[in-house]
Chains A and B, each alone.
Chain A
Amino acid sequence: MNKTDTTMQKTQLIDRILGRKAGMASTETALPASTHPKNRARIPDAYTRFDRHPGYEKMLVPKAASERLGIANPFFRVHDGVAGAITRIQDREYINFSNYNYLGLTGHPAVNQAAKAAIDRYGTSASASRLVAGERPVQRKLEEALANVYEVDDCIVFVSGHATNVSTIGYLFGPKDLVIHDSLIHNSVLQGIQLSGATRRSFQHNDTNALNQILAEIRGQFERVLIVVEGLYSMDGDICDLPPLIEIKRRHKAFLMVDEAHSLGVLGKTGKGIREHFDIQGKDVDIWMGTLSKTLAGCGGYIAGERALVEHLKYAAPGFVYSVGVAPSLAAASLEALRIMQKEPERVTRLQAQGQQFLEAMHSLGINTGLAQGYAVIPAIIGSSLKAARLSNQFFEAGINVQPIIHPAVEEKAARLRFFLSFLHTDQHISYTREVTKKLMGNR
């Protein structure tokens, strides 16, 4: 093979690896070439049909497997009523462990009333982006109340928790930056990093030494660096070790972002989250992120931090600027929920006690609860996805609704049943669940 051949092959190969279409430069002007019958025939059928999309085809395997093994689909069950400790599905009552109603504030009469009053006053939609269509006082009040929880300057509320992470990380960081995250971080953070174009690295779950080491090696190669962790990990039920993270972010001149989606209302003596748990100043973390759909009984997400961060996002983060503002009724519901959380800390105390009680019940049966520390999220690790789905159905038959969580939501071969506790669960709910667990999984 002569030298020219190799060079040409190399160029073609690099093009292919970079995903460039062959002869891309010429196709712009040569439109007829792509419509030529011969070229049209070369486009595989799979590229023109949604039922041949690789992602869809992959989904047919569990569908076929569950049909063959007679496992009913545990997903998208239709509930009739509030997502609380008890739920109604097809006219039967179930003890419900598939809800984020941590403090029992979704469905709370005062929260419902606040939402209704907001609807009577403002209708059901904020109409358009707050930047142009204007503010409703309740949206600002919620943001002020949330900023107060963290004792920071200000707060911005987005219409979706997932979009909060995507838009914030995606907007603030760029190709010269590094975002380094815990290996079990939520999908929304990964999507945000992808959008930002920043370099992505992960460190082993909760291993702050590994984080420190990576930063010591590569911090210098980047401009801005963001470290992202979660307060309470939603699939595993363990918490991050915040004090050393703050130490590390200072040492390496990085920003620290803490996702508090599952920790608000769950951690800390009065439910203020991981900050209160470790008795840390709000200002010691650069970006506080949280959601409105769990403890706060609404729908949406927020970022709290210094004024320059929040006001910048309000004028520029695409998920805020080019999106409708949070519905006044949802803002009012979350604001009222936050007030009740602060007025009635006994809800938090009880939830924490129940978490410990549930964890001990599982341990007494020898159930593998993984990393769970007894804070409202307690998984029973199964391994096989089909086994987890089958067990979920068996619990369902016994009157308990608990969802199987399978790959890609968790790591491969780490399928589990995930129990979410609510303030509304009674001791009887927990002891009955222990009995059923013993019967179904006791011989493990």
Chain B
Amino acid sequence: MAVRLSLGIEQRFRVQLPAMLLGSSPTVNNVSTWIAGKLAGHDDSENGQSTDLVAGFLHQHGEELTRDEMHALDEDVRRLAETGTRMIV
């Protein structure tokens, strides 16, 4: 079933589904959001990844930030990744 679905999606949309997506939370909502993201040109570049991280964090931790705040946070995360940091002082 999962195999047929993935294959169908790959053929129809020309995107490869990560195995994780069907393994952990294969809801119609999750899968379609993922496909839409792919088609909209979100790739796996640094930029895309960092934004996903911030959005994921905010979702899991019940935070509400404005678009600007999210963007600023995103910049901070990228800066920390570049410069390196200490998390235990």
Contacts and interface: CB of A to CB of B under 8 A. Distances in A.
A64 B77 contact: yes
B63 to A, nearest CB: 5
Given A68-B76, A414-B62, 12 more contacts: A17-B22, A58-B56, A58-B57, A59-B87, A60-B81, A61-B77, A62-B57, A62-B61, A64-B76, A75-B88, A407-B61, A408-B60
Contacts of A333: none
A76 interface: yes
Among all A-B residue pairs, the 6 with the closest Cβ atoms:
A413-B62, A64-B76, A385-B61, A61-B57, A17-B19, A384-B62
A61 B53 contact: yes
Given A10-B3, A13-B6, A68-B72, A60 B80 contact: yes
Contacts of B59: 412
Interface residues of B, number: 32
Given A14-B3, A17-B3, A57-B81, A65 B73 contact: yes
B2 interface: yes
Interface of B: 2-3, 6-7, 10-11, 19, 22-23, 49, 53-54, 56-57, 59-64, 72-73, 76-77, 79-81, 84-85, 87-89
B80 A13 contact: no
A412 B57 CA distance: 10
Interface class of chain B by DSSP: helix
A9 interface: yes
Contacts of A408: 60
A13 B22 CA distance: 12
B7 A10 contact: yes
A429 B57 CA distance: 35
A384 B3 CA distance: 38
Interface in A32-72: 51, 57-65, 67-68
Contacts of B62: 383-385, 412-415
